């Protein structure tokens, strides 16, 4: 049965998502162990200086929650944008940024640092050290995957996928070996880190993530047309005058950088990169010109909400946000899988 | 002005030599048929002509400039390729797929949409507007892909200086649309478009092409006007098949009948 698909115009969705950013951010700022009225949040955001009588609210909002909410937005945007780019590059709607090995490499890097550095793990210095280890591990894994998939005839995305699976399995095994040697405190730290959390937000970390996000948001959408053409096939794209090897190289580097920074700062956050582009494609279609920016905005919204939920459900305790995104994401994803033929997906 | 010229072209895209001493010219408005047994190197030749696979020896010029010296995007405005099979598993609409052909161009959105309407009319895909490409039949997909590659090099008045390479463009087409394709290619060649087309159906090839190039095992066996190339000896030599060469009763082009 042939159907003319009714789609939302991409610009409407972009405007809607952009308009939702501020209210969702304010809502997220008001939620947490201490529930703040919205007026206090506004006062804390707008009034200069800390001379306000409601000093505690100002402190909570400015020093704890604001960097955290913003970091969630930035990490969500990077993960969703990277996911959309990877799904286009691999010509597979089920691809995920972690496919190229970056997440597994980063987890191994973090585990090595946690086990090697011992136990004084709460200090800012230790956190930075773990993040650095994670970033280095993620980048090394991607370089290895990319080298394995590249021959004089070019880079094969199919080989990259297989190499990514192999490197992920290897990193998992090495990580298992480390965990076998680790003591209980280290084990707990490793597993908590793997679940993903944004509780270590600070303005310096936010700056790093924000800069990375800006770089990706400026560069990746420039490849929107190239990604559309490459979905037809690589030789078709080359006949259209696109340097496919260059596109692959640049996109893999950008995604590795983006996801590397995210995993380093917030651990592994599942399903944002997979589900968000899927949802956006369902609404406005697969053309990358709208898909890439809309995915970034939707990813930011989703992770701000998920982080707010993770802070409130068991307050004052916090559930790692990776668990929230997985619990929300998996049922949703299964529904999508079962309905994929209704919106023209053929795989 | 010669649109395409090959002089003693050799190629070995995956290390093994696959093409040896290919030699032909293509003039504006000319339709050259390319024939040969399976594995003769037809698709390789198209890849080489398209500038995707490199030559190891010889000269290959597009508009008197070596193909390797063209910027890919510039080249794509002059030369388009219709492959045998395009896989697309994402639910793009027919319009979106055709407009992908406008990526190398530097025209405005309005001009692109005008071209979209014109190529849809030319390929009888207007009725598919707004439908999802993934839900089309094989023949409909082939026509949409044809519309896409036409959009890439389209000009309503003058298409001289542009080349279209077609690799088995009729495999999924019904008789009506095969005839429409023949008529369309003649119209476009009247506008100056040069066409290089591979087909296994010699009768269709004889109806479309003015000249034929026959290759086997990567070597050029024959090149010339359709009537002089299509001989019973050629079919014996290249395909080890007995055929009778006759003439189409009304159109006058040669016809190949199995003996």
In angstroms, the CA A161 to CA A149 distance is 9
- What domains can be seen in chain B, in order of their start residue? 4-258 (3.40.50.300)
Domain assignment of residue A55, yes or no: yes
pLDDT over 60 (residue A50): no
Residue A59 located in a structural domain: yes
- In the structure, what pLDDT confidence band is assigned to residue A343 with cuts at 50, 70 and 90? low
**Which pLDDT score, from 0 to 100, does residue B97 have?**
95
In a domain, A302, yes or no: yes
Q: What is the pLDDT of residue B8?
A: 93
Q: State yes or no: pLDDT of A341 exceeds 80.
A: no
Q: In this predicted structure, which of A151-155, A175-179, A275-279, B204-208 has the lowest mean pLDDT?
A: A151-155
A233 against A226, higher pLDDT: A226
**Is the pLDDT confidence value at A52 over 60?**
no
Mean pLDDT of A279-298: 93
ipTM score assigned to the predicted complex: 0.92
Mean pLDDT is lowest, of A72-76, A150-154, B113-117, B194-198, for A150-154
Give the mean pLDDT of A231-238. Answer: 91
Token pair, residue A280, equals 């956006």
Q: Which of A76-80, A313-317, A336-340, B172-176 has the lowest mean pLDDT?
A: A336-340
In this structure, is residue A2 part of a structural domain?
no
Rounded CA-CA distance B119/A126 in Å is 62
Torsion, CA B5, CA A153, CA A92, CA A259, rounded to 10: -130
Average pLDDT, chain A: 84
- Average pLDDT of A125-139? 81
Chain B residues within an 8 Å CB radius of A343: 91
For residue A151, the chain B residue with the least C-alpha distance is: B14
With cut-offs at 50, 70 and 90, classify the pLDDT of residue A49. low
Query: Quick check: A3 pLDDT over 50?
Result: no
Residues B135, A2: C-beta atoms closer than 8 Å: yes
Contact A5 B96 (CB under 8 A): no
pLDDT > 80? residue B4: yes
Q: Mean pLDDT throughout B18-30?
A: 93
Q: B13 near B54, Cβ under 8 Å?
A: yes
What average pLDDT does range A205-209 have in this prediction?
88
The whole-angstrom separation of Cα B83 and Cα B146 is: 9
**Is A344 within 8 Å of B86 when comparing Cβ atoms?**
no
CA distance B27 to B21: 20
What is each CA distance from A149 to A76, A143, A162, in whole angstroms? Answer: 28, 10, 9
Nearest C-alpha neighbor of A269 from the set A203, A319, A217, A221: A319
Give B 84-143 residues with CB within 8 A of chain A: 86-93, 96-97, 100-101, 103-104, 130-136
Tokens of B43: 């698709």
For residues A46 and B38, which has the higher predicted lDDT (pLDDT)? B38
Q: Model pTM?
A: 0.88
- State the smallest CA–CA distance between residue B253 and chain A in angstroms: 33
**pLDDT at residue A347 greater than cutoff 60:** no
CATH code of the domain containing A38: 1.10.3470.10
Distance, CA of A163 to CA of A157 (rounded, Å):
10
Give me the domain span that covers residue A74: 10-343
- Residue in chain A lying closest to B74 (CA): A241
The answer to whether B101 contacts A344, with C-beta atoms less than 8 Å apart, is no
pLDDT band at A234 (very low <50, low <70, confident <90, very high): confident
pLDDT over 60 at A345, yes or no: no
Round to whole Å and give the CA distance between B229 and B5: 20
| Helix-strand-coil split of chain B, %, nearest 5 | 35, 25, 35
B88 closest CB neighbour out of A232, A240, A285: A232
* Number of C-beta neighbours around residue A152 at 10 A: 5
Q: In A53-202, which residue ranges form alpha helices assigned H by DSSP?
A: 55-59, 66-89, 102-117, 124-149, 157-181, 184-195
Number of domains in chain A: 1
Q: Which of A93, A238, A286 sits opposite B52 (nearest CB)?
A: A238
Closest residue of chain B to A226, computed from CA coordinates? B103
* Contact between A236 and B93 using a beta-carbon 8 Å cutoff: no
Percent composition of chain A: helix, strand, coil (DSSP 3-state, to 5): 75, 0, 20
The beta-carbon neighbor of A239 closest among B81, B97, B131 is B81
| pLDDT level of residue A236 (50, 70, 90 thresholds) | very high
Contact A93 B90 (CB under 8 A): yes
How far apart CA A2 and CA A48 sit, in angstroms, is: 59
Tell me whether B72 touches chain A (CB under 8 Å).
yes
Q: Does A152 touch chain B (CB under 8 A)?
A: no
Q: Do A345 and B74 touch (CB under 8 A)?
A: no
The pLDDT of residue A93 is above 80: no
- Percentage of residues of chain A with pLDDT beyond 90: 29
Q: pLDDT: is A59 or B167 the higher one?
A: B167
At A1, the pLDDT band (50, 70, 90 cuts) reads: very low
Residue A36 lies in a domain: yes
């Amino acid at each position: 049965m042939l159907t003319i698909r009714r789609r939302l115009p991409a610009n409407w969705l972009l405007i809607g998502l952009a308009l939702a950013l501020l209210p969702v951010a304010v809502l997220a700022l008001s939620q947490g162990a201490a529930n703040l009225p919205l007026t206090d949040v506004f006062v804390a955001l707008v009034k200069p200086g800390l001379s306000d009588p409601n000093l505690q609210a100002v402190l909570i909002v400015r020093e704890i929650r604001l960097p955290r909410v913003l970091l969630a937005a930035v990490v969500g945007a990077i993960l969703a944008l990277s996911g959309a780019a990877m799904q286009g590059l691999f010509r597979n709607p089920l691809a995920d940024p972690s496919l190229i090995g970056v997440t597994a490499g980063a987890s191994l890097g973090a585990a090595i640092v946690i086990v090697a550095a011992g136990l004084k793990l709460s200090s800012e210095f230790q956190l930075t050290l773990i993040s650095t280890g994670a970033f280095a591990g993620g980048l090394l894994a991607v370089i290895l995957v990319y080298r394995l998939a590249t021959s004089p005839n070019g880079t094969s995305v199919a080989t990259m996928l297989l190499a990514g699976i192999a490197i992920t399995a290897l990193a998992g095994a090495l990580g298992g070996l480390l965990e076998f040697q680790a003591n209980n405190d280290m084990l707990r730290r490793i597993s908590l880190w793997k679940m993903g959390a944004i509780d270590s937000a600070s303005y310096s970390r936010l700056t790093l993530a924000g800069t990375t996000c800006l770089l990706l948001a400026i560069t990746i959408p420039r490849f929107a047309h190239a990604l559309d053409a490459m979905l037809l096939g690589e030789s078709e794209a080359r006949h259209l005058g696109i340097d496919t090897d260059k596109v692959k190289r640049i996109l893999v580097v950008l995604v590795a950088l983006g996801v590397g920074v995210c995993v380093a700062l917030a651990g592994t956050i599942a399903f944002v990169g997979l589900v968000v582009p899927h949802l956006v494609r369902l609404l406005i279609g697969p053309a990358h010109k709208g898909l890439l920016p809309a995915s970034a905005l939707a990813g930011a919204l989703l992770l701000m909400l998920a982080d707010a939920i993770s802070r409130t459900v068991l307050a004052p305790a916090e559930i790692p946000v990776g668990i929230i995104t997985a619990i929300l994401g998996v049922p949703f994803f299964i529904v999508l899988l079962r309905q994929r033929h209704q919106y023209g997906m053929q795989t | 002005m010669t649109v395409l010229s090959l002089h003693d072209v050799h190629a070995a895209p995956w290390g093994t030599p696959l093409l040896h001493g290919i030699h032909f010219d293509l003039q504006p408005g000319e339709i050259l048929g390319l024939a040969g047994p399976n594995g003769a190197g037809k698709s390789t030749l198209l890849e080489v002509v398209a500038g995707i696979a490199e030559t190891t020896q010889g000269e290959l010029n597009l508009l008197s400039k070596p193909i390797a010296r063209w910027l890919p995007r510039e080249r794509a405005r002059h030369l388009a390729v219709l492959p045998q099979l395009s896989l697309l598993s994402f639910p793009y609409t027919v319009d979106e797929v055709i407009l992908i052909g406008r990526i190398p161009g530097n025209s405005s959105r309005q001009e692109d949409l005008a071209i979209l309407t014109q190529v849809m009319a030319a390929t009888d895909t207007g009725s598919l507007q707004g439908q999802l490409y993934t839900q089309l039949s094989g023949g409909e997909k082939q026509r949409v892909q044809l519309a896409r590659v036409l959009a890439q090099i389209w000009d309503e008045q003058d298409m001289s200086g542009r080349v279209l390479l077609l690799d088995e463009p009729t495999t999924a087409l019904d008789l009506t649309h095969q005839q429409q394709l023949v008529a369309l290619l003649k119209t476009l060649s009247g506008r100056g478009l040069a066409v290089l087309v591979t087909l296994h159906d010699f009768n269709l090839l004889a109806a479309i092409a003015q000249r034929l190039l026959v290759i086997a095992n990567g070597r050029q066996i024959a090149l010339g006007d359709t009537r002089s190339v299509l001989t019973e000896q050629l079919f014996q030599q290249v395909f080890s098949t007995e055929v009778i060469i006759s003439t189409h009763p009304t159109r006058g082009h040669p016809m190949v009948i199995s003996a």
